[in-house]
Structure 1
Amino acid sequence: MNYKDKILVSLTDDTSRLQLFNDQSLEQLVAAAYEVDQMNIEGPYQPIFEELQFGFSVPKLGVLDGMWSPVGGGEKVEARFQVSGLGDGSSVWVDALWRGAIVARTVPANSKITAVQNEWTEVETSDGKVQQGAVQVTFAPPDNSAPSPKRLPITAALLIRDEGFSVTDLLSESKHIREQLISEGIQTKRDPDLPRRKPPLLVAWIIPGKVFDDADWPGGTAGMDATALRDARRDTAGKWLAQEGIGLVVTP
């Protein structure tokens, strides 16, 4: 069985599916979907699969621009139509569409400021009168409560690729797929309390770890062993792709 079929079959089983999404992959998916710098969250992470659709497709959409006017002249009317079935092939294919969530853990905020006091006095100097003072800041005791679960809704288009794929082509394909799916109303529902990234639909690449054995990937330093280099390159790639709204799921 080839890599793509093996992963797709694994996604159909509750147990093997969870083994695909380790903590590092889930962390990178969250970073691609949300502005994590504005959130006090940490692992362990847990994926929630409310719905998985396999071999998901939507019709390709094209845009037709035109205008018309009454016979004999008159005011022209401009129009734009979205038409499905145009272009090479009639559909955009996604290996699987995941609707659900990733559960993270919220970290209690420590060292909260509870009071600020200041005193100012006016003193005479050789340069004239100046203000000098002192500021006293009071902090609350550290919050030692345990982290609590935080549900982060996810809608993700899963694209499975074996080694040898073109990064440029897959990046372009990912953005095209996202655009088409969003036009069909497929996206994560907006939650004003969560700092989500601008793309309302996550794209996730499921790829083998050996992809990052390629020395052309940035990341890592001289002297690292093969495993450390692979992890460093994967981490660097994950941070870059997160800015594009793309998460990485890396398999052994």
Structure 2
Amino acid sequence: MDFRDRTLVRLADPEQRDRLFDQRSLENLVAAGYETAAGVTGPYRADFAELRLGVRLERPVTAEGGWSAPGGARQEGRFTLTGLGGPTADALWRGGVTVRTAAGGGRVDAVDAAPLAPAEGPELTVRYAPAAGTPRPVVLPVLVALLVRESVRPADLLAESRGLAGALGALGTAAVLGTGPGTVPLAPRGRAQVGWLVPPAVFDDPDWPGGSTAAGPAEQRAARAAAAGRLLAAQGIALLVVPEAAAA
């Protein structure tokens, strides 16, 4: 089997699935999905409430039109069409990522009032003292379309990812990304996201940024992967580099 087949087999196996997602990959996933705040840290843990392989995402299409017989009243119609096909994800992950945060544990340190225009009233600035104690675990819900690729052509994969993200967003996933019990109220970047599962060897290519100051090949590879993870997270895409042990 090639890398893609091996990875899909491991995704299907609950006992092997966790080993595909190391701490850096889960950190990238959180950064791609949420406007993270200071104090959100690892260790991270993935929760796979549902994972389906080979998912075709059909986007409903709405058509509007009108017609009338000669001399008759005009009729109008609105139709929702399904079954027209759509982008395909190698896997669809619905679940969450557990993070650690001290959010909500601080106390109000000071309140300042600055006068604005008389009709608007004063503006209040509230300052919080840093929270003390052990960071508490919270769950960030995720809905991720996974693409498994042994090699990467960024332009093509970015275009494919945009189509997947749009199809997922049209499915009405607000409940998945809500702020229910045990979650932290971080602002999501979008209703859903896309993750790229790739082998470390992808970042042997010197055209990836970030590796120019690293000492050796392994360090250069890691530096390029870290830089790519940050760049892609800003686009709502999670870079999930499959660890060497799982890739073999």
Contact 1:61–1:180 (CA<8 Å) still a contact in 2? no
Question: Which runs of 5 or more residues in structure 1 are unaligned?
Answer: 118-138
Note if 1:150 corresponds to 2:138: yes
Partner residue of 1:106? 101
Give the CA deviation at 1:97: 1.0
2:191 and 2:111 mapped to 1: Cα distance? 41
Amino acid at match of 1:176: G
Identical positions, percent = 38
Note if 1:56 corresponds to 2:61: no
The 3-state SS of whatever aligns with 2:81 is strand
Note if 1:250 corresponds to 2:241: yes
Give the CA deviation at 1:213: 1.0
Give the CA deviation at 1:83: 2.8
Spell out the pairing of 1:199-218 with structure 2 (5 A cutoff).
199-218=190-209
How many residues align? The count is 225
Partner residue of 1:185? 172
The 3-state SS of whatever aligns with 2:87 is strand
Amino acid at match of 2:153: S
1:229 and 1:109 mapped to 2: Cα distance? 39
Give the CA deviation at 1:242: 1.1
Give the CA deviation at 1:248: 1.1
Amino acid at match of 1:57: R
Amino acid at match of 2:170: S
Give the CA deviation at 1:68: 3.1
2:61 and 2:103 mapped to 1: Cα distance? 49
Contact 1:105–1:148 (CA<8 Å) still a contact in 2? yes
Contact 2:32–2:189 (CA<8 Å) still a contact in 1? no
Q: With structure 1 as the length reference, what TM-score do the two structures score? A: 0.77
Partner residue of 1:92? 87
Question: Which runs of 5 or more residues in structure 2 are unaligned?
Answer: 113-127
Give the CA deviation at 1:60: 5.2
Contact 1:11–1:17 (CA<8 Å) still a contact in 2? yes
Q: With structure 2 as the length reference, what TM-score do the two structures score? A: 0.78
**The structure with more strand, counted as a fraction of residues:** 1
Give the CA deviation at 1:172: 0.9
